[in-house]
Amino acid sequence: MSARGPRYIARQNGDPFYTTDKPCLRGHISLRVVATGTCVECRRENEKQRYYAKLDKVREKSKSYYAKNSESIKVKRRESYAADPDKEREASKYRSREWRSANPGHRNALKRKYMADKGLRTPAWADLSAIVGFYKNCPPGFHVDHIYPLRGKLVSGLHVLENLQYLPAVENMRKNNRYLPA
């Protein structure tokens, strides 16, 4: 009677995978699927090839579907976000993260421009140590906000202690660069 191999033993034990010291046809020495005997690495490579082969077709199909059904998709998205506001916030974070990683040069230029504008709007008589202390004492969940925005369309303020306030983070992000009179 001949000895049984690792695939037979794995099948008897009910295991989904088994190992062998023999390389597959492509030379991989990795786990193999008990049901088919195929190499896990080979399956992974084949799936990747199939995915990229039809990726352009899938993207075209998605674009045409969206073009035909954009209004109903937008309505469903609004309803979904109204039911679960955290879902909208997560989607927004994801889009923002994607944009930042795709546009590092643009992001750095915007940050540098903001810092330059802030420097131009800080007068020589401003108490910088008091401003730094104000930023350090900001309570958790709040942002330091300029009452009169530094780069507002209608009204622009200075970077001085009298123009700073603590605002809840959500309100500050909603306010953006606008002056909202009380």
Percent with pLDDT over 70 in the chain: 98
Give the confidence band of 17 by pLDDT, cuts at 50, 70, 90: very high
Looking at the structure, tell me whether residues 47 and 66 fall in a common domain.
no
How, if at all, do strands 17-18 and 32-33 pair? Answer: antiparallel
Looking at the structure, tell me whether residues 145 and 164 fall in a common domain.
yes
Q: What is the rounded CA–CA span in Å between residue 117 and residue 151?
A: 8
* Residue 124: strand, helix, or coil: coil
Q: What is the pLDDT of residues 140-151, one digit of tens each?
A: 999 999 999 988
In a domain, 181, yes or no: no
Looking at the structure, tell me whether residues 10 and 23 fall in a common domain.
yes
The DSSP 8-state label assigned to residue 145 in this structure reads: E
In a domain, 107, yes or no: no
Q: What is the pLDDT of residues 117-129, one digit of tens each?
A: 899 999 999 999 9
Last residue of a domain, which of 41, 73, 102?
A: 102
Domain range holding 137? Answer: 123-175
Q: What is the rounded CA–CA span in Å between residue 99 and residue 52?
A: 23
Count of domains observed in the chain: 3
In a domain, 21, yes or no: yes
CB 87 within 8 Å of CB 81: yes
Looking at the structure, tell me whether residues 132 and 164 fall in a common domain.
yes
In a domain, 62, yes or no: yes
Looking at the structure, tell me whether residues 12 and 28 fall in a common domain.
yes
When the pLDDT of each residue in the chain is averaged and rounded to a whole number, the result is 90
Sign of the CA dihedral with 8 first, then 9, 12, and 16 last: negative
Looking at the structure, tell me whether residues 170 and 130 fall in a common domain.
yes
